[in-house]
Amino acid sequence: MTSTTRADQPAVSEGARVAGEPGGERQAVLTIRDLKTQYRTDEGTVKAVDGVDLTAYRGQTTCVVGESGCGKSVTARSILQLIDHPGKITGGRIMWQPDPATEAVDLTQLDEDGERLRRVRGGEIGMVFQEPMASLSPMYTVGSHLMETIQLHSDLNEADAKDRAIYELKRVGIPQPERRFDNYPFQLSGGMCQRVMIALALSCDPSLLIADEPTTALDVTTQARILDLLHELQAETGMSMLFITHDLGVVAEIADDVSVMYLGKVVERAGVVDLFENPQHPYTQALLESIPSRDHDGHRLDRLRAISGTVPHPAQRPPGCSFHPRCPHAMAGTCDVDEPPVLDLGDDRIAPCHLHNPETSGGGRPLPMLPVPPVPEARETPEVREQTPMPASKQPMLSVRDLTVEFPIRKGFWKRTVGHVGAVSSVDLDIYPGETLGLVGESGCGKTTLGRSIVRALAPTRGSIAYRAPGSDSEVDLADLSGRELRPYRSDVRMIFQDPFTSLNPRKTLLQLIGEPLQRAGSRNRPPAGKDVADSTIQDQVADMLAKVGLRPEYMRRYPHAFSGGQRQRVNIARALITRPSLVVADEAVSALDVSVRAQILNLLKDLQEEFQLTYLFISHDLSVVEHVCDRVAVMYLGQVVEQADTGSLFDQPQHPYTEALLSAVPQPDPHQRGGGRRIRLPDDLPDPTNPPPGCRFHTRCRFAVEGLCDRGDAPPVLQEETGHAVACLRAEEIELQGRH
């Protein structure tokens, strides 16, 4: 049955305008109409999904994108009736038609424990979840997981099922599938586990694969390979994909169709190219603008255009258009009263917004369109930048020399040390006053450990951390100090944590939290210039700082539970800055935040840097954010800095093969850049950090590695600086690497 035949059912005809699509007719495998899923809680009914229309076409990838709490996952789970207890599908239809020759089935009408739904689950529709480690049972081997699914959905005998399982493992690119068959999930890396999950989901040749944030928990290099794999498998089997993500870069990489969700509703549906080039809903526009992207004019000081506020809790949905409180184009009297009509914009696009409705917008207020991003020109060379980050005369504020942090591995009753994990080994790093130094690398490369040693949350094993307070000529080695001696420097070097939820003690008010460092006797608290010192009591200072980070001073009596993630991160920032530090280590400070809130926080950090003359060490795995905020970037691999340079020079002309691979793995929020032959994918996962490879630590994954040179343990590469661009590669001069252009 094609969608044209479905059009004679009046209830579904509205959204199913598929015939006459450019590119021929598309057949829907899954058509969701007006789906409503609600959670009944003590506080009232939460409408997690409120009238979603969604269509997945045969052989294509439909992306559902939105911030957290927008109902993406609940929509996906509703399809297979996998909603947790208080939740219930209260309306709508989910028409499932794996085979065009048969009649479509309404999945919402199936018995939850019935035979038919069991056949759909895992058999006809496969599902991949976000946390691969948590989705596999640690009690069973990879093989038994696969065998169970295969035997449940087919009548193969044991031997055939085993062959099939090994074939599936091979198909998802797992090396030595016969050996991996008998491994337990905890013996595999995260990327491998996700491959196993995909193998599981695909083992019964489903017609549709639902992937719920399948790459969010993975490193960017692993993510790139998983996305490639999904692409290949789709080309091979012709399955459809429903891909749920919050990352617009991933959307640009993989989607055919995109549905943007906001507060349980689809606010825009379009083809991927249309969506990125010509977004029609204010929310989509704002989302796209809040991604730090190189396609703005390349001017680093550009502020991101953040969406104000945060996504409200689904229980507190604003009346009218649910986006209107955050919408820059909201029209009073219309947007906050009436729900926007679903109007067809042609090309199978919808974007329910009052501005598209001639009756309400009066025709006089066309939606401001985003300019099509200009084709990036060759970026200006770094010296044209207004702020030359590193004048030769300047002395570093912090200079790290030969820093090594090792964690002992202890075994046995007496906890004898049997080995060491070298989280950071012999790192040299200079941080200059007023700059933002980025620190990037995959998880496990030691960037967090390095950051924590600099703030001295950890004691380094070896090496020095020389700190020079601004305006002073003497240096102090922070690595040598301990306990009480460190206290004066605790207020100079501060840290912003990643997780806004665990880093604030829920039992203290904001006043107690932010004021805590001030309460210590002897805290060197420089009053801000031009302020009367006498009235700077703790409370006033806290109120002042709250206002500076964009929170109302009245909030100081509140507890952290009353704040959203973004607001809590502001509290964290206030807490770090209350002592007027000179250096702030921001450890993945925006990684846990939604796109729109992330832009707010990045802007805030930038404003505060100017106001307080701060120096940042910005640790992140997200290269696009690093490119946006950092003056210089250091790339870490397995505890070592492999490349260090100005941001522009590093992104345009990387000199280390690892940097090149990292850059290439970052999905670009531009569907035109998809593919393009620049793909460099890293084989294998990170080597064992207890026993790093000899010679160049990267040689096991490097495409330029030469035997007898790179793997020689007696001559490891060292960081060599040349005109501000330092690289640790033995073949740096011979090899030709691609930048981001």
Binding footprint of another protein on the chain (CB under 8 A): 42, 303, 306, 308-310, 312, 316-318, 325, 336, 413-415, 452, 455-457, 486-487, 490-491, 494-495, 497-499, 502-507, 509, 516-517, 520, 523, 547-552, 555, 557-559, 561-562, 567, 570, 575, 600, 603-604, 607
Q: What's the min distance (Å) between Cβ of 297 and another protein?
A: 20
One-letter amino acid identity for 564?
Answer: S
Q: Which is nearer to another protein, 506 or 683 (CB)?
A: 506
Nearest to 699 by CA among 708, 709, 710: 710
Q: Which is nearer to another protein, 116 or 526 (CB)?
A: 526
Residues contacting residue 160 through CB under 8 Å, at least 6 positions apart: none
Q: Which is nearer to another protein, 504 or 619 (CB)?
A: 504
Q: Which is nearer to another protein, 72 or 548 (CB)?
A: 548
- CB-based burial label for 346 (10 Å; 0-12, 13-18, 19+): exposed
SS3 660: helix
Q: What's the min distance (Å) between Cβ of 131 and another protein?
A: 18
Q: Which is nearer to another protein, 59 or 325 (CB)?
A: 325
Q: What's the min distance (Å) between Cβ of 512 and another protein?
A: 9
Q: What's the min distance (Å) between Cβ of 213 and another protein?
A: 20
Nearest to 668 by CA among 303, 283, 254: 254
Q: What's the min distance (Å) between Cβ of 532 and another protein?
A: 20
SS3 411: strand
Is residue 418 a contact partner of residue 409, using CB atoms and an 8 Å limit? Answer: yes
Which residue matches tokens 């599902």?
127
Is residue 658 a contact partner of residue 643, using CB atoms and an 8 Å limit? Answer: yes
Q: What's the min distance (Å) between Cβ of 430 and another protein?
A: 22
Q: Which is nearer to another protein, 299 or 561 (CB)?
A: 561
Q: Give the bridge partners for 640, in sequence order.
A: 637
Q: Which is nearer to another protein, 125 or 335 (CB)?
A: 335
Q: What's the min distance (Å) between Cβ of 508 and another protein?
A: 8
One-letter amino acid identity for 480?
Answer: D
Cα separation, 599 vs 605, in Å, equals 10
Q: What's the min distance (Å) between Cβ of 17 and another protein?
A: 34
The distance of Cα 420 from the centroid of its chain, to the nearest Å, equals: 31
Q: Which is nearer to another protein, 511 or 641 (CB)?
A: 511
Q: What's the min distance (Å) between Cβ of 420 and another protein?
A: 17
Is residue 564 a contact partner of residue 310, using CB atoms and an 8 Å limit? Answer: yes
SS3 47: strand
Q: Which is nearer to another protein, 114 or 319 (CB)?
A: 319
Q: Which is nearer to another protein, 596 or 644 (CB)?
A: 596
Q: What's the min distance (Å) between Cβ of 434 and another protein?
A: 20
The sheet carrying 583-587 orders its strands as: 493-496, 583-587, 615-619, 436-440, 632-637, 640-646, 725-727, 720-722
What is the b/e burial string over 461-480, where b = at least 16 CB atoms within 10 angstroms of the residue's CB? bebbbbbbbeeeeebbebbe
- CB-based burial label for 405 (10 Å; 0-12, 13-18, 19+): buried
Is residue 45 a contact partner of residue 23, using CB atoms and an 8 Å limit? Answer: no
Is residue 422 a contact partner of residue 404, using CB atoms and an 8 Å limit? Answer: yes
